[in-house]
Each structure stands twice: as structure tokens, then as C-alpha cells.
Amino acid sequence: MMVRAAVLILALLGGCGMARADGLVVSVSQAQVHITSGFTGADLVVFGVMDPQDAAGGSPDVVVTVRGPGQTFTTWRKTRVLGLWMNKQRIGDDHADVVSADPFRAAFLRIQQAQGLYRENTCGVTFIAPHVFRAEVAIPGTAPLGRYQVEVQLLRGGRPVASATTSFDVQKTGVEQSIAEFSQRNGLLYGLAVAMGSLMLGGVASILFRR
């Protein structure tokens, strides 16, 4: 199932990485979100400034959408066979977009929502001036690494009148980043190091328990 692992804010009626389009300027409060071993989530703010002429007739509707990097998932349905739970039926990227009301898809979305990866907030945008607005975006601790695209649309009467996009990156930093890079460059050595570390830890534990 090809999906966008994403944090999503929809707000209707209602720094760093700046993007400019006709009638709209958009920026995010930070261009990078650093993940460390104690990372539990982060909050970003999307700022937008619209053309005063667009705000002359009253604040337009604003939609802010944050999309994460694309990922491929396979959803399995477990069935009881001879007293054992086994994977019986699957849905992948070849069927996910065909049957939109499929229970597989609904279950997958429920899981993603529970993890905070899919989110909707109809009151997520706040106007701090007649032509200036902001939207808070919560990045969960389970957010995948990669580049996130931020799209802002202005709607009037349900029709788009302006749009702009910007982005930010979620990436590991410090020791976590060094270990991740080493494992990618030297997969065999990394595997051996992990195996040796496990053996040493097991040996030390057995000695301590004997005492």
C-alpha cells in the first residue's frame, strides 16, 4: 500500500524554509527536526502572509497539509487455522487505491492515526492579523525520517485562489546518526559488532548471576 506517512492538518474557515508564491508567503519555524535517543516529538509552526487584497473581503479559508516521505506497506489479515493465527489475506499497493472502502485500508488508517501519523484539525489555523496566520504542527515521536512537504492553500467559495509550498527535514543527529550511517555503509561489520556485543553482554550476565 503506497501511502504518505504524514502529519496532516486541515484548517477550513478559519523563520526558516520560506516559500513565496503569487499572493502568499509561507515559512516554517525550523527547517530541521533533530531526532535523538530521547526524542518524543516536536512542535513546528507554519506561518503565512497573504496579499492584503486577498484579505480585503474577509479571511479566506486556509488549508495546511503536511506530507511525509512516501512508504510502501503491506497489510495482512490474520485468520485462525487449526488453532493458530496465520496471515491469510493481504493487500498491497496494487489494490489499495482500487477499493477505497476496504476494511484493510480502514484498519491501516486507524493504526496510523493512533500513532499520530495521520491527523486532522479543523481549527488548526489561527489568524493573528487580517492577512497573517499560523498553524501548529505536531511531529510525533514515531515520525519517519526524511523530507516533509508543507502545502498551504487559500480558498474562497471553495475555489483555490493562492497556494505555496515549503519543506522541513526530520533526521537523526549525534550518536544515533553516526550509528545509522555506519550500518548503511558497512552492513556486515555492523552485524558482526552487534553479534559480538550480544555475546559479551550474555557472558557478563551469566557471570553476574552465578555470583
Distance CA 155, CA 23 (A): 12
pLDDT at residue 8, rounded to an integer: 43
Window from 18-32, 98-112, 141-155, 169-183 with minimum mean pLDDT: 169-183
What is the C-alpha separation between 196 and 25, in angstroms, rounded? Answer: 53
List of residues 6+ apart from 188 with CB closer than 8 A? none
Average pLDDT of the chain is 74
2-172 maps to which CATH number?
A: 2.60.40.1930
For residues 47-73, b (16+ Cβ closer than 10 Å) or e, as one string? bbbbeeebbeeebbbbbbbbbbbeeee
pLDDT per position as a tens digit, 88-144: 666 655 544 555 566 777 777 888 888 888 888 888 888 888 888 999 988 888 888
**Global pTM value:** 0.63
Closest CA to 160 of 72, 67, 65: 65
CA distance 79 to 130: 56
